[in-house]
Structure 1
Amino acid sequence: MVPNFARDASTAWLNGWEAHVHAPFARLKQRTAEAGLPAFRPRGLLLPPGGAAPIRFKPRLKKPLAAPGLAPTLGRIGSLEVRLATTVSEIRRAQRLRYRVFYEEMSAVPSGLAMLSRRDIDDYDAVCDHLLVIDHAAVDATPFAAKPFRRPRPKVVGTYRLLRQDAADRHFGFYTAGEYDIAPVMAANPGARFLELGRSCVLKPYRTKRTVELLWAGIWAYVQHHRIDAMLGCASLEGTDPERLALPLSFLHHHARAAEGWCARALPERYVPMNRLAREAVDPKAALQALPPLIKGYLRVGATFGDGAVIDHQFGTTDVFVVLPVSAIAARYRDHFGPAANRQAA
């Protein structure tokens, strides 16, 4: 038989490639298994012998990034678009926005990982959906100057993190449960599908009515698609001195307290009374002016608030529990944020 030199050379190269790549990872896999550690998955670039082109291994995602059956783009006003994050890169951009707002603009204290990466990161990011507001008329300034050939990308200017109850039950539960006892609310509403809203932030120049409306339009489309019955979460007032926040906290306690069956109470070890001023001493107009725009937005659509505040020293805020049954949203807001609203105009 005539030898096939091309075939033999190819076989030899592949044998060398296997020795170069697979054998070391086989040994590493064996050691990690013996130590009881999670299986190792290579990430990044591996260089085969002989100067051949590198092979890139992409990290595996724990879950789909786009909700099945829900279009990523959920609305648009002018150059602003609201959409769901569909790639790991887009989630990282949301994390960088959160870092900029929470840690650079506000008084949150970053962990070592957050400080090194310049991103606000926690375990919930991997199991949540991420709502983005993107300005197509502005360019995202990447923090990596070493990537001069990257095409300019439109700027992420707002974000919300969305956690459905089924995902929470499969993983860590709701983030809110670290501050409030929400079990009685769940028990009082059996069969209801809950959605947790969290980690909301908007760049300062974009804190306008139309940006907030786009965020709510995106949330409403998501709520309808997943047939959500109620939304809950923690909303924040800036500052950690409840005495300085006595007026807005007392207003929420006297005028916007959740009804029985919806009123979660702060955990005993974190409970801070909200009833700091008598009802007759509260000036509603002044209190509304003292509330952050996000909480005023919640009030407008029909949200109510729980019993007790919680001081979050890491983020430099005082948190309150907010709950919004979908049935409590006024019809005029359903029409305003629903598909009848014209949000596609350029």
Structure 2
Amino acid sequence: MSIELLDRVSLVDGGAQSAAVAGRTTEGLLGRIGNLETRIARNDREIDAAQAVRYRVFVEEMGAQIPSDSARRKRDIDAWDMVCDHLLVLDRSLDCDPEDQIVGTYRLLRHDVARTNGGFYSATEFDVDALMARHPEKRFMELGRSCVLPEYRSKRTVELLWQGCWAYALTHRVDAMFGCGSFPGIRPEEHALALSFLYHNAVARDEWAVRALPELYREMDLMPVEAINPRKALAAMPPLIKGYLRLGAMIGEGAVVDHAFNTTDALIVLPISSISDRYRNYYGADAGRFAS
């Protein structure tokens, strides 16, 4: 599970690159910047193409281990694909079918859908059920399986993916988003500085507290607070996690080692009410903010 593989670029970066409009201008369109568009997958062919993009990033690039049947098909597939919505970024300048224009993807799972289809993927690593039990009136959404092809890892691609998530959340009246932010490798101690900074400065408390499952729990508190240099800790952190911290996100307590995906995972928790005014003003209350 990951929202990690955008971590070579920042989540958002100053200044709108396209004009705002009142509502969507194209059916299903969630945003557009230049030749790139973001929207939800419309058919099985597009979902299959998104799974192929995930395979290229997770397996060929990052060395993830997947079932042999999926490997033969060169697709990253799991059971949640059938119930999730698949957010896409497409390069419309490519002269080919839409499914061959997909250059990035994010997987979105709403609370009501998860409730009737076996729960959230993150529940295999973190006790998200306890978190949601404390907020029975809130609508949650899980973000996962994010990736972008190497040649498209730019600020505008990541900004479009976030705009798509934001517009989708507004449309479905989501109250909080969550998902795993990942560090490369399966040795948490190699990320002691960054993990310790998160533990001392960003761990969710009280009503938003959430922990890794006991059998998977790995300590994040690997350094005393007086030994942490905040500037160096932030520099050592995957940019996607830094981006979510800027938005107002919190971190679950305890890391989880994902051997299949060769990552060390931390849970990101982002209540919509916690998103800083800077980013609320930037993206606005209109789901079509970037659709022009």
**Is the structural similarity TM-score above 0.5?**
yes
Deviations 1:67-117 (A, max 9, x none): xxx942101000010110011000011100111100011121121012111
Cα deviation for residue 279 of structure 1 reads 1.2
Cα deviation for residue 154 of structure 1 reads 5.0
Equivalence map 1:223-302=2 (5 Å):
223-302=169-248
Cα deviation for residue 247 of structure 1 reads 1.2
Give 1:128's aligned residue.
84
Letter matched to residue 228 of structure 1: V
CA–CA separation in structure 1 for the residues paired with 2:75 and 2:287? 37
Letter matched to residue 343 of structure 1: F
SS at match of 1:186: helix
Q: Does 1:343 align with 2:270?
A: no
Normalised TM-score (structure 1): 0.73
Cα deviation for residue 343 of structure 1 reads 2.6
Q: For the Cα contact (< 8 Å) 1:160–1:200, is it kept in 2? A: yes
1:102 and 1:190, CA in 2 relative to 1: closer, same or farther beyond 3 A? same
Residues 256-265 or 162-171, more deviating: 256-265
CA–CA separation in structure 2 for the residues paired with 1:184 and 1:134? 37
Normalised TM-score (structure 2): 0.87
Cα deviation for residue 153 of structure 1 reads 5.8
Cα deviation for residue 344 of structure 1 reads 4.1
Letter matched to residue 327 of structure 1: S
Cα deviation for residue 318 of structure 1 reads 0.3
CA–CA separation in structure 1 for the residues paired with 2:202 and 2:125? 19
Give 2:53's aligned residue.
97
SS at match of 2:94: strand
Residues 74-83 or 245-254, more deviating: 245-254
The counterpart of 1:115, out of the listed 68, 71, 90, is: 71
Letter matched to residue 99 of structure 1: Y
CA–CA separation in structure 2 for the residues paired with 1:280 and 1:217? 37
Equivalence map 1:67-82=2 (5 Å):
71-82=27-38
CA–CA separation in structure 2 for the residues paired with 1:139 and 1:118? 23
The counterpart of 2:126, out of the listed 180, 183, 187, is: 180
Cα deviation for residue 342 of structure 1 reads 5.8
Structure 1: which 5+ residue stretches go unaligned? 1-69, 141-150
Letter matched to residue 93 of structure 2: A
Q: For the Cα contact (< 8 Å) 1:247–1:287, is it kept in 2? A: yes
1:167 and 1:340, CA in 2 relative to 1: closer, same or farther beyond 3 A? closer
Letter matched to residue 117 of structure 2: H
CA–CA separation in structure 2 for the residues paired with 1:85 and 1:290? 34
Q: For the Cα contact (< 8 Å) 1:72–1:85, is it kept in 2? A: no
CA–CA separation in structure 1 for the residues paired with 2:206 and 2:232? 27
CA–CA separation in structure 1 for the residues paired with 2:209 and 2:170? 24
The counterpart of 2:94, out of the listed 112, 116, 138, is: 138
CA–CA separation in structure 1 for the residues paired with 2:94 and 2:236? 31
Letter matched to residue 231 of structure 1: M
1 or 2 for the larger relative contact order (CA 8 Å, sep ≥6)?
Answer: 2
Q: For the Cα contact (< 8 Å) 2:46–2:98, is it kept in 1? A: no
Task: Tell me which structure has the larger Cα radius of gyration.
Answer: 1
Provide the alpha-carbon RMSD of the alignment.
1.8
Deviations 1:277-315 (A, max 9, x none): 111211222222222222122111111101100000000
Structure 2: which 5+ residue stretches go unaligned? 1-25
CA–CA separation in structure 1 for the residues paired with 2:283 and 2:27? 16
Q: For the Cα contact (< 8 Å) 1:216–1:337, is it kept in 2? A: no
Cα deviation for residue 138 of structure 1 reads 3.3
Letter matched to residue 263 of structure 2: T
CA–CA separation in structure 2 for the residues paired with 1:152 and 1:178? 33
Residues 283-292 or 318-327, more deviating: 283-292
SS at match of 2:264: strand
SS at match of 2:273: helix
